Amino acid sequence: MNNSQMDFTQRVVIITGGAQGIGRAYALEFAAAGARVVVADLNSDKAAAVAAEITASGGQALGLAVDVSDRVSVDAMVTACLEAWGQVDVLINNAAVFSTLKMKPFEEIDVDEWDLVMNVNARGVFFCCQAVAAAMRERGSGKIINISSSVVQTGRAHYAHYVASKGAVVALTRALATELGDSGINVNAISPHGIVTEVPRDTIKPEQWDAILAAQALKRKGGVTDMIGATLFLASDHSNYITGQTLNVDAGLRFN
């Protein structure tokens, strides 16, 4: 999808986990479509670098440090956004713990690792949604896009905490769509699969990729650009009559 078809001029978009991978791609594409972008990430230096990249190209961006698992940090992020631009039009809950996880039987996942994954991947989404709700309600509109995963439906083994956290994202999306609909706020999720970024991963071996690609209708790996069209669509006015849905971006791995 050409972002020229999606005009986000003067709209404010918060992207958590925006400093690398898919989050960075979101930040650059929304900025290219005219949005004012908050690049929020635990890594403040990388967030600032992406924001500088946008401003150097003539766009508007803020690079902010945020720990989405911490309510005070999330509130500070949203406050900084409102102080700068006075509104929040789109929230993309992209931050997650994934690439650093080691596959293991669920009996071997200790409570600290379980809590880390749930705190970032599930509680972090909850906190961010809470933090933007008042500003969106005041304007009578808003788009919240939560990033889930194909593992919710495939039940991928040896990732029990990650699967559970991303399942919570889908359930929360449905609950918030119901609660926020009266305020004109759309809440949807995207469920990606097989997206390759510059972030290193060693959890999928070459032979596993062969099996994954064989199960897909489209026989190729995905890239960050494959996520952009779906996200721009759900953030735009073209999706105003869609809420509470989970959009699979997965090369036809699953059919609803």
Report the b/e string of 27-40 with b at 16+ CB within 10 A.
bbbbbbbbbbbbbb
Cβ–Cβ under 8 Å, residues 95 and 70: no
At CA 160, angle to CA 208 and CA 250, rounded to 5? Answer: 50
State how far the alpha carbon of 53 is from the alpha carbons of 11, 28, 110, in Å.
Answer: 19, 8, 39
Q: Which candidate, 253, 169, 248, places its Cα nearest to that of 218?
A: 253
Cβ–Cβ under 8 Å, residues 10 and 34: yes
Q: Write out the two tokens for 105.
A: 């039987």
Strand partners of residue 60? 36
**How many Cβ atoms sit within 10 Å of the Cβ of residue 134?**
12
Cβ–Cβ under 8 Å, residues 15 and 27: yes
Residues 6 or more apart whose CB falls under 8 angstroms from that of 42 comprise 65, 66, 67, 68, 95
State how far the alpha carbon of 89 is from the alpha carbons of 6, 15, 139, in Å.
Answer: 14, 11, 9
Catalytic residue check, 26: no
Q: Which listed residue (26, 159, 162, 241) is catalytic?
A: 162
Residues 6 or more apart whose CB falls under 8 angstroms from that of 4 comprise 33
Residues labelled catalytic = 162
